Amino acid sequence: MAKGLEGKRALVTGGSRGIGRSIVEAFMEEGAQVLTCGRNSTPTDLPLGVAWHSADVSDRQQAEELVAVTQAQLGGIDILVNNAGVQIEKTVAESSDEDWERLMGVNAKAVFQLCRSVIPVMAGQGGGAIINIGSISASHADPKMALYNASKAFVQGLTRSIAVDHGPQGIRCNAIAPGWILTEMADSAFDLARDPAAARADAAARHPVGRLGTPDDIAQAAVWLASAEAAFVNGQTITVDGGLVAASPLRPELF
Amino acid sequence: MSEVAQGHLAGRVAVVTGGCGGIGQAICARFAKEGAKVYAADISDDGMGEEGAVTFHRTDVTSEDSVSALMTAIDDNDGKLDVLVNAAGIEIEKTVEETSLEDWNRIFAINVTGMFLTSKHALPLMRKAGGGSIVNFGSYDGFIADPSLAAYCATKGAVHALTRAMACDHGPENIRVNAVCPGYIDTPMLQSFCGSAGDIESLKSEVRHIHPLRRYGTPEDVANLVNWLAGDEARYASGQLWVLDGGLTAQAQQMRL
């Protein structure tokens, strides 16, 4: 779908690395103008032509400023990708108030705030596409990730609500639920395994496609959802997991 | 309280297809304990214990004549039917490519057509009872796939859809239709499935560990749910797929680090 996003103006949160970075690169490849953000200063390896704005999206004022800066720099916003997220590896019993504020601040409140600020901009332009990054853990719990799992279920619920409430204004809102994506974070987890090679092989075998996902697998789904090809797709969560959740978790041949 | 003491299915007439199988036997025993008159309908009475209150009736659920004869016998003896449990089922451990048309037709005949025939012929008897409860056997495999069980997974998806359809059509007659969707239950069928990968004994701790409740299910666990769905406590429950898997499918698959 070369240049399927020609002339589109996109705000992608959390584009310094991982899935966010791949989305930024794929959007550029397809001809979009992109502004991305993170809490740190401009990453040294940011691709040429990508605009950067330092912001903590969980802060209301900074989120609103981010939207204003994007409008000013790009001249409008056609695509919003809420990708920024954090994870805290704790059960409910272990989670503190601070954990709640931090995790829900980024994974839930920031998504709400950015959608709230961007919807009027898109409505004024006659429409747009919002893509929220959820997770398969919204419907299948990862152990000791209680607030994270819950925050991703929030993302799915909010996605449907925006689709229903703002579809009449030409705004499509969809989510992507990635499975296991081999980011730097996942790779370092494998390095810590007792037998890294066996752990990698086991993880691959659990996927019907025989491998873990790449950030680009998610980025390509985002490109499609943002494009005119997906003009009638609204309110959906698209699972991109190599078939992981279609398969039973109990696999005798892997014991 | 006196009614509870007699069992909550006192005075009810129930038929359980596959009633001599691993789960079927547990259901028949529980229904009998709850005071129901129970017919265990199966192709053979192998493995059936000496259950005084359970009557074996040789039935081939794939034959309309056989199913019709079962219902006629119940009509002659009892004049009504309150509960139908469609527990008869088989699995074929093959991929689509390995499955012959004969395999495919056989598993659909037992798992799906059998349910259609028993339900079709049970409905007039349930009307005579003023209502009833049909409990079908779906599976968590109707939602997610186990490897090399393609036709089985497809039959369970069909059961889930048929359950909803019958619940909609017959709810106005006070006939409730639900499906139970077991995960891993300790039965000969499970031993066969796991046997393809090795010795069941050596797999047991692994199997337990993957379940949030740290065990797999027993036929009695399933009978507890079927018993509830069969009785009046579940009077507002209809058209639903009741997953019973110890939390197995609530979780994401875990990396083994």
Domains: count for chain B: 2
Q: Which of B185, B214, B233 is nearest to B7 (CA)?
A: B233
Same domain, residue pair B40 and B156: yes
Q: What is the pLDDT along chain A (255 residues), one digit of tens a residue?
A: 678 999 999 999 999 999 999 999 999 999 999 999 999 999 999 999 999 999 999 999 999 999 999 999 999 999 999 999 999 999 999 999 999 999 999 999 999 999 999 999 999 999 999 999 999 999 999 889 999 999 999 999 999 999 999 999 999 999 999 999 998 777 877 888 888 888 888 889 889 999 999 999 999 999 999 999 999 999 999 999 999 999 887 776 665
Strand order of the β-sheet with B175-182 is: B54-58, B37-42, B13-17, B83-86, B132-137, B175-182, B241-244
Nearest by CB: A206 against B144, B251, B253: B253
User: What distance in Å separates residue B27's CA from the closest CA in chain A?
Assistant: 26
Radius of gyration of chain A, Cα coordinates, nearest whole angstrom = 18
Does some domain include residue B127?
A: yes
Does some domain include residue B246?
A: no
Chain B contacts of A249, Cβ < 8 Å?
A: 210, 248-249, 251-254
Chain B contacts of A253, Cβ < 8 Å?
A: 147, 196-197
Q: Which helix (H) or strand (E) holds B238?
A: none
Same domain, residue pair B40 and B165: yes
Q: Is B152 a catalytic residue?
A: yes
Q: List residues bridging with B40 in a β-sheet.
A: B16, B56
Dist. CA B16–CA B39, nearest whole Å: 6
Same domain, residue pair B32 and B154: yes
Reported as half-sphere exposure (CB side, CA atoms, 13 A), residue A174 has a value of 22
Does some domain include residue B195?
A: yes
> Which CATH homologous superfamily contains domain A9-178+214-239?
NAD(P)-binding Rossmann-like Domain (3.40.50.720)
- Stretch(es) of chain A classified as CATH 3.40.50.720: 9-178+214-239
Q: How many residues does chain B have?
A: 257
Same domain, residue pair B115 and B192: no
Same domain, residue pair B118 and B205: no
pLDDT at B49 over 90: no
Q: Using 50, 70 and 90 to split pLDDT, how confident is the model at B1?
A: very low
Same domain, residue pair B206 and B154: no
Dist. CA B121–CA A131, nearest whole Å: 51
Chain B contacts of A192, Cβ < 8 Å?
A: 257
pLDDT at B2 over 50: no
Query: Do B13 and B83 meet the contact criterion of CB atoms below 8 Å apart?
Result: yes
pLDDT at B226 over 50: yes
The count of other CB atoms within 10 Å of the CB of residue B256 is 14
Same domain, residue pair B92 and B145: yes
Distances (CA, A) of A110 to A106, A252, B11: 5, 42, 60
* Amino acid found at B115: M
Q: Would you call B256 an interface residue with chain A, using a CB distance cutoff of 8 Å?
A: yes
Nearest by CB: A245 against B144, B147, B248: B144
For residue A251, the 8-state DSSP code is -
Return the ∠ at Cα A113 (arms to A112 and A116), rounded to 5°: 85
Dist. CA A240–CA A225, nearest whole Å: 12
In this complex, do A141 and B193 lie within 8 Å of one another by their Cβ atoms? no
Does some domain include residue B13?
A: yes
Same domain, residue pair B204 and B145: no
Q: Would you call A189 an interface residue with chain B, using a CB distance cutoff of 8 Å?
A: yes
Same domain, residue pair B122 and B204: no
Q: Where are the alpha helices (DSSP H) in B171-197?
A: 188-195
Q: B72: which 2 tokens?
A: 């006629």
Q: Using 50, 70 and 90 to split pLDDT, how confident is the model at B196?
A: low
Same domain, residue pair B170 and B230: yes
Same domain, residue pair B208 and B226: no
Q: Domain containing B203: what range? A: 188-216
Give the model's pLDDT for residue B193.
Answer: 67
Does some domain include residue B99?
A: yes
Q: Which of B37, B75, B41 is nearest to B56 (CA)?
A: B41
Query: Best of B143, B205, B257 to disrupt the A interface by mutation (most A CBs within 10 Å)?
Result: B257
Q: The domain spanning residue B145 has which CATH number?
A: 3.40.50.720
Radius of gyration of chain B, Cα coordinates, nearest whole angstrom = 18
In this complex, do A253 and B197 lie within 8 Å of one another by their Cβ atoms? yes
Same domain, residue pair B63 and B136: yes
